[in-house]
Structure 1
Amino acid sequence: MKHSAAIILIVNSFCVFSQIPHEITYFVGCFVNGTTEIQFEFDGELMLYIDFQREEVVYTVPTFIDPDPGQVLVGLSILRDAFDNKGWCSTLTHVAKVEEKYPPEERDPPESMIFSAREVEPGVENSLICFVNDFYPPSIKVSWTKNGRPVSEGVSLSQYLPNNDQTFRQFSTLTFTPSEGDIYSCTVEHSALDTPKTRIWEAEFIKTDQSLGPDIFCGVGLGLGLLGVATGTFFIVKGCNAQ
């Protein structure tokens, strides 16, 4: 358990009346650094979270899912309750810090890796994924570069996702079209890191030299021709010796 946060989980689980039962779980995370995380999970998958800065509910699942999560939660005052709970979190964590005398905030530095979403082909649009994991507290900055220059177009960032050990993980995705020799980097900044951590990815393609085909066939033909000449000479010499 992290000593730097009082994490309160409010779990409301129920089944939606349909042919297949579903479970919706409501999480409230209260952190002594002032951060509040509120999200819904639908059958174990993140369905929505609250963006307090924009004051809106952000759905993270496609609208065509049956049943539509937006319809399932119709009538619930999600945003208003989220701000009520945020205020409650501030009060709770303030009291906890005073009464329990929490030590300085414990921090876990992130691990990161970068990889392509699909097999890389020149000129074919693809995605680079920067996966950041095992960090705490849940606040990081992810930035991209292409050939040493900052890139912001085509970049997206997922919501923080909790791990079982109360650390967090997050994905940043860059949509790109690979070209030979292009070098991309993903840099992660976090309070537990002394310096930013950067991962490098270079576009490389497996080349097949088509020009070798004719050369190989030509070489094989020439070899067979020489073999025929040598065989003919052998029989001529042998016949002369027999006389």
Structure 2
Amino acid sequence: EGSAPPLFNSETFYVFVYIVLFLVHKGHHLVGCSDTEREDMYGLDGEEIYYYNFNKNKAVVAIPEFADSVSFRFPTDFEPCVYSTKIYLKCKSVSIYFPVFTDPPQTSIYPRDDVVVSVENTLICHVTGFFPPPVRVSWSKNNVNVTENITLSQYRPSSDGTYNLFSMLKIIPLEGETYSCTVNHKALQQPQTKIWDVEAVLPGIGPSAFCGVGLTLGLFGVVTGAYFCIKAHTNCSQLSLMSDCTTVKTC
């Protein structure tokens, strides 16, 4: 019979999504697993609410603390994923074929805040429209791989059945630096890379420039107002003189 194959393939991320439709909103519960990744996440309208961090063995709240806390049972929901995957692999082993369609990701890179030199910021790499998971995201700075200060979101289902994901890199931008985000996915013939160059405002120049422009406009307004005031006074004086002359002639 030979040795049994591993339960999971690291290149395949088995996903089970449970969707609950409300009158206005759409809630979802996503559970996924592979040899190297595990995910158990609750979301609403495509956004994360709670997820379980399997590396740290704790639940993570992904929404602001603006309401009473709601608890979920983690990671007990993950066990059905493992069980269902075992059943799926057994079915597949007896020649039941499920066609797998793939969609390549679309990638964009942008800063979270307005960029100011030497001021901490966050670069965001948004990977969307891919199927199936997983994707691999890597960062580089000036063509050198970066492995620190990186955070990765959970896989989020989209309304069209594809998935999206965010990768974030904390940076302190300096003039002339170049950052890149590279995405690998089975539907891509080659890795997809997006490049971002630091084009920033030097500290202090922005506020000073606005202040200078405001001061100039203010002075221009004062001079313009004084000009019209003097002109009006002169016209009034001339009209008064003409009125006096008319009175004398009439007499």
SS at match of 2:173: coil
TM-score between the two structures when normalised by the length of structure 2:
0.62
CA separation in 2, counterparts of 1:151 and 1:6?
28
Assess if the C-alpha contact under 8 Å between 2:41 and 2:154 holds in 1: no
Could you tell me which residue of structure 2 aligns to residue 79 of structure 1? 75
CA separation in 1, counterparts of 2:153 and 2:34?
23
Q: 5 Å matches for 1:40-189?
A: 40-41=42-43, 45-51=47-53, 54=55, 56-61=57-62, 64-69=65-70, 72-73=71-72, 76=73, 78-83=74-79, 85-94=80-89, 97=92, 98=94, 100-103=96-99, 105-189=100-184
CA separation in 2, counterparts of 1:133 and 1:43?
15
Assess if the C-alpha contact under 8 Å between 1:112 and 1:133 holds in 2: yes
CA separation in 1, counterparts of 2:15 and 2:169?
32
Matched residues, number: 191
Assess if the C-alpha contact under 8 Å between 1:32 and 1:94 holds in 2: no
Assess if the C-alpha contact under 8 Å between 2:50 and 2:59 holds in 1: yes
CA separation in 2, counterparts of 1:28 and 1:62?
17
CA separation in 1, counterparts of 2:150 and 2:88?
34
TM-score between the two structures when normalised by the length of structure 1:
0.64
- Using the aligned pairs only, state the percent identity: 31
SS at match of 2:82: helix
CA separation in 1, counterparts of 2:87 and 2:75?
20
CA separation in 2, counterparts of 1:194 and 1:113?
18
- The root-mean-square deviation of aligned C-alpha atoms, in Å, is 3.6
The one-letter code of the counterpart of 1:56 is N
CA separation in 1, counterparts of 2:160 and 2:138?
26
The Cα of 1:99 is off from its aligned counterpart by 7.4
The one-letter code of the counterpart of 1:131 is H
The Cα of 1:204 is off from its aligned counterpart by 1.2
1:150–1:34 distance in 2 versus 1, CA, 3 Å = closer
SS at match of 2:98: coil
CA separation in 1, counterparts of 2:33 and 2:149?
32
CA separation in 2, counterparts of 1:126 and 1:87?
39
The Cα of 1:41 is off from its aligned counterpart by 2.8
1:126–1:199 distance in 2 versus 1, CA, 3 Å = same
Assess if the C-alpha contact under 8 Å between 1:125 and 1:175 holds in 2: yes
1:158–1:50 distance in 2 versus 1, CA, 3 Å = same
The one-letter code of the counterpart of 2:171 is F
The one-letter code of the counterpart of 1:46 is E
CA separation in 2, counterparts of 1:64 and 1:111?
32
CA separation in 2, counterparts of 1:57 and 1:63?
18
SS at match of 1:68: coil
The Cα of 1:66 is off from its aligned counterpart by 2.2
Unaligned runs of 5+ residues in structure 1 are 15-22, 214-243
The Cα of 1:94 is off from its aligned counterpart by 3.4
The Cα of 1:155 is off from its aligned counterpart by 1.0
Could you tell me which residue of structure 2 aligns to residue 205 of structure 1? 200
CA separation in 1, counterparts of 2:178 and 2:199?
10
Q: 5 Å matches for 1:209-220?
A: none
Could you tell me which residue of structure 2 aligns to residue 229 of structure 1? none
SS at match of 2:133: coil
